[in-house]
Amino acid sequence: MTKLKLGPLSDDRPVKLTVEMPAAVHRDLVAYGAALAAENGGEVVTPEKLIAPMLARFMASDRGFVRGRRSRSHG
């Protein structure tokens, strides 16, 4: 199995959101949570716990977003 992009998840204080997503995305999140648990030797991670770290990782890897964020904070 290839190494997953997400590692162990930190237990951070959550902010509650309600989101709708396609069923296929939900199925993929369930499968990802199981794969992450198998890779890290932990419990299966629920989709609710995966969404925030996945979005954070995505935003951190988006060069345009990071550059724009830096320029706004230094301006």
Q: What's the pLDDT tens digit per position in 44-55?
A: 999 999 999 999
Domain count for the chain: 1
- Percentage of the chain lying above the pLDDT 70 cut: 97
**Residue 55 amino acid letter:** L
Whether 34 is in a domain gets the answer yes
Range of the domain at 62: 23-73
Task: Give dist(CA 28, CA 45) in Å, integer.
Answer: 12
Q: What's the pLDDT tens digit per position in 15-30?
A: 888 999 999 999 999 9
Whether 4 is in a domain gets the answer no
Task: Give dist(CA 66, CA 17) in Å, integer.
Answer: 24
Q: How is residue 15 written in tokens?
A: 């902010």
Whether 17 is in a domain gets the answer no
Whether 42 is in a domain gets the answer yes
Under 8 Å CB-to-CB from 9, ≥6 apart: which residues?
Answer: 45, 49, 50, 53
